[in-house]
Amino acid sequence: MKATAIAPANIAFLKYWGRTNTEFRLPANASFSMNLSEAKTTTTVSFEKDYSTDDISMEGSVLSQKEKERVVIHLDRIRQIAKDTRRAKVVTRNSFPKSCGIASSASGFAALTMAAQAALGMTLSERELSILARLGSGSAARSIPDGFVVWEYGDTSDESFAHSVFSPSHWDLRDIVVLSETKKTVSSTSGQDAVDTSPLYKTRLSRVKSRLSRMLEAVSLRDIAVFGSLLEEDCLEMHSVMQTQTPPLYYWTEETKHVMKEVLRMRKEGVPAYFTIDAGSAVHVICEGAMVESVLDRLGEVRCIINAPAEGARLSTNHLFL
């Protein structure tokens, strides 16, 4: 049987950076994100008796051997649950450019998880899908539920899942991603392996729980000033951890710092816009829908993708191959 799923990427407002268990990708802290309306992955999966090997491809891009292996490992997890040994054909398409500053592993593993389990005749719950997607890529857990999503800390695999805390229509927030040409050279997966070497890591962990509850309160009240300052605080703390790891991880470029300063300047001029940055050089400028034009005016000539809050992963009947 064949199945197709569409899943959004997400932007972390309160970040996941550090794990208590690498194999199960158990995060050291709960995190919070928004699904992105204009950054989606569509994946079609079919399992057949006569396939001799897994055949994995991405439209418009060549996947590395390492990327393919990560997909095969994830297919193996799903095959093991379904007690099925058939090989798969997987075709995937992103609505956004690869390595542009939007993480494709979140949308990619969320779409792969949902499509593969459906293609094997399973109907996993949202919680089960989120846990399974997490094993492929931590942040993929957050691309399963709708809108604004919390991924819970858990002592065991079953306890660490993501769930929706506000629907996409709760707040007309925008994530203006200023696209970056700079490819990151260290993946989030390997970057996090050295998190313990930062003297600031434990300090950040001691602060994120209270920050998350204050952030959720600000989002519930749609208070952009409180939300925005917590957003920047968490981004800067996570990057301070990264930059003080051994070896240090500098994801920022001159362009990153330039856009961050532009955002600070906008605020001085009365435009309530805030920045956040994941494991890459692209700046995500966060503001309310009514402020988008003012932000774009001030950003000038940049390439960007403007995202609204979006629903989570869904099955689709529009397959990518016959």
Residues that bind ligand DP6 (CB under 6 A): 12, 15-17, 25, 31, 103, 105, 137-139, 188-189, 192, 278-279
C-beta closer to ligand DP6: residue 241 or 291 = 241
Q: Taking Cα atoms as reference points, which of 249, 276, 274 lies closest to residue 264?
A: 274
Taking the complex as a whole, how short is the minimal distance between the CB of residue 105 and ligand DP6, in angstroms?
Answer: 5
Query: Of the two residues 138 and 147, which places its CB atom closer to ligand DP6 in the complex?
Result: 138
Q: How far is the CB of 34 from ligand DP6 (least distance, A)?
A: 11
Give the separation between CA 282 and CA 170, rounded to whole angstroms: 26
Closest approach of Cβ 57 to ligand DP6, in Å? 21
Smallest gap from Cβ 45 to ligand DP6, in A, equals: 20
Tokens at residue 119, please? 């293609």
| 167 φ, ψ (degrees, to nearest 5) | -75, 165
Rounded Cα gap, residues 46 and 69, in angstroms: 17
By beta-carbon proximity to ligand DP6, the closer residue of 146 and 278 is 278
State the nearest-atom distance from the C-beta of 243 to ligand DP6, in Å. Answer: 13
- Residue 90's DSSP bridge partners are 45, 56
Q: Shortest Cβ distance from residue 237 to ligand DP6 (Å)?
A: 12
Q: Which is nearer to ligand DP6, 262 or 278 (CB)?
A: 278
The secondary structure element, H or E, covering residue 174 is: strand 173-178
Residues ≥6 apart with Cβ < 8 Å to 32: 12, 13, 14, 148, 149, 150, 151, 165, 212, 215, 216
Q: What is the DSSP letter of 61?
A: B
Nearer to ligand DP6, 74 or 79 (CB): 74
User: Do β-strands 274-276 and 19-21 pair in parallel, antiparallel, or remain unpaired?
Assistant: unpaired
Nearest C-alpha neighbor of 235 from the set 274, 273, 270: 274
Measured CA to CA, the distance from residue 135 to residue 53 in angstroms comes to 22
Q: Would you say 3 or 36 has its CB closer to ligand DP6?
A: 36
Q: Which residue is nearest to ligand DP6 (CB)?
A: 138
DSSP 163: E
Q: What angle do CA 155, 213, 221 make, to 5 degrees?
A: 145
Q: Which is nearer to ligand DP6, 115 or 150 (CB)?
A: 150
Q: Which residues have C-beta within 8 Å of that of residue 62, sequence separation ≥ 6?
A: none
Instruction: Give least dist CB 293 to ligand DP6, A.
Output: 28
